[in-house]
């Protein structure tokens, strides 16, 4: 286990995330959720990633008539950031309609692990109750992630 090759701990390269930055990130995720393309589920989801220099990269869910082609908001946000040349994040915000806190699906957790360390902050809230967010780490969400 000690010899297993792992990517560098990316979260260590980024300054600590402030509560104000997390709230801005939540609002950015909520704004992205409004733009969701979800004619089948009507379930609006938005995600936002906090990159270097406090820059934010957001995505929404994009559904497709061929359901399996649907893209989750979290993976959309990752794709937006990577396309902008950013692969290092210190926090992730996820917002969706209620009633329950919208924890990310397994696929998104694994994709986030590709670009985030286990200490990366994940903040999650229901869209109309952003002040009642839940905060945890990516390591808590996916404790035994697949790595090469
Ligand atoms: Zn997902």
2 CA to centre of ligand 1 in angstroms: 30
**CATH architecture for segment(s) 10-141:** 3-Layer(aba) Sandwich (3.40)
Cα–Cα distances (Å) from 80 to 15, 101, 104, in that order, read: 22, 24, 17
Residues 102 and 45: beta-carbon distance below 8 Å:
yes
User: What is the set of active-site residues?
Assistant: 74
105 CA to centre of ligand 1 in angstroms: 4
Domain ranges of the chain: 10-141
Instruction: Give me the tens of pLDDT residue by residue for the chain, a chain 148 residues long.
Output: 444 555 555 444 445 799 999 999 999 999 999 999 999 999 999 999 999 999 999 999 999 999 999 999 999 999 999 999 999 999 999 999 989 999 999 999 999 999 999 999 999 999 999 999 999 999 999 999 999 9
């Amino acid at each position: 286990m000690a010899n297993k090759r792992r990517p560098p701990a990316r979260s260590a390269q980024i300054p600590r995330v402030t509560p104000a930055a997390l709230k801005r990130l939540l609002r950015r995720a909520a704004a992205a959720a409004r733009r969701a393309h979800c004619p089948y589920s009507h379930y609006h989801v938005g995600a936002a990633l906090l990159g270097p220099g406090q820059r934010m990269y957001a995505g929404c869910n994009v559904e497709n008539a061929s359901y399996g082609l649907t893209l989750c908001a979290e993976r959309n946000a990752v794709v937006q950031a990577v396309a902008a040349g950013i692969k290092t994040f210190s926090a992730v915000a996820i917002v969706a309609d209620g009633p329950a806190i919208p924890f990310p699906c397994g696929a998104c957790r694994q994709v986030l692990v590709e670009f985030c360390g286990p200490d990366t902050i994940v903040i999650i809230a229901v869209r109309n109750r952003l002040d009642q967010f839940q905060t945890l780490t990516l390591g808590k969400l996916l404790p035994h992630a697949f790595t090469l």
